[in-house]
Amino acid sequence: MTSRDRYDGVAMGLHWLMAAAIIVLLVLGFVMIGQRPGSPEQFKLYQLHKSVGVLVFGLAVLRLGWRLGHRPPPLPDTMGKAERLVAHAGHWALYGLMLGLPLAGWVVVSTSPYNIPTVIFGMVGLPHLPLPRDLNTLAKGTHLVGAWVLIATLVGHVTAALRHHFVLRDQVLARMLPRFGREK
């Protein structure tokens, strides 16, 4: 595989860093909502969730910018039209969710009746959006449904990646992995 057939280092680095951060966010999200309401543990986990979530948003903006300026390697010729369409739709859905979920989270905290400040990694305050409190229920619902849509899309994404590698035996997974060994 030559360098034109694989993702560049920035795309790969962002992909795997964000994959790890998003999995942490999903676990953290479900763990924190199960904590004793108002407990210090819950407060800490919420602050961590919000901090990592804002970081993911920033990285998603960077990544989208990079993606628009750098064409990814072409999909293998063996893939049919419908398969290509599903692959592209899935990737763009993931970009949408990486941007949309943090925004919905920001609306949740901005409209919360508890009015709790968000301090990103204990350092920088995130201002609340000037939005009416009535939006809180809708924002919470959107954030929750968005999280489940993300989980479903990721199940499809990971299944497809593993199918390419182990069933179709093409280079689709390999081109998103750092190269080990010699390059041809």
**Cβ closest to ligand HEM, residue 93 vs residue 184:** 93
Crossing angle between the packed helical segments 40-69 and 9-33, to the nearest 10 degrees: 160
On whether the CB atoms of residues 119 and 125 are closer than 8 A, the answer is yes
Task: State the Cα–Cα distance between residues 26 and 24, nearest whole angstrom.
Answer: 6
Binding site for ligand HEM (CB under 6 A): 15, 18-19, 22-23, 25-26, 29-30, 33, 49-50, 53-54, 56-57, 67, 72, 75, 87, 91, 94-95, 98, 101-102, 105-106, 108-109, 118, 140, 143-144, 147, 150, 154, 157-158, 161-162, 172-173, 175-176
Q: How far is the CB of 172 from ligand HEM (least distance, A)?
A: 5
Per-residue exposure over 42-61, b if at least 16 CB sit within 10 Å of its own CB, e if not: beebbbbbbbbbbbbbebbe
Nearest to 120 by CA among 105, 134, 135, 130: 105
**Cβ closest to ligand HEM, residue 69 vs residue 132:** 69
**Cβ closest to ligand HEM, residue 9 vs residue 53:** 53
Q: How far is the CB of 129 from ligand HEM (least distance, A)?
A: 10
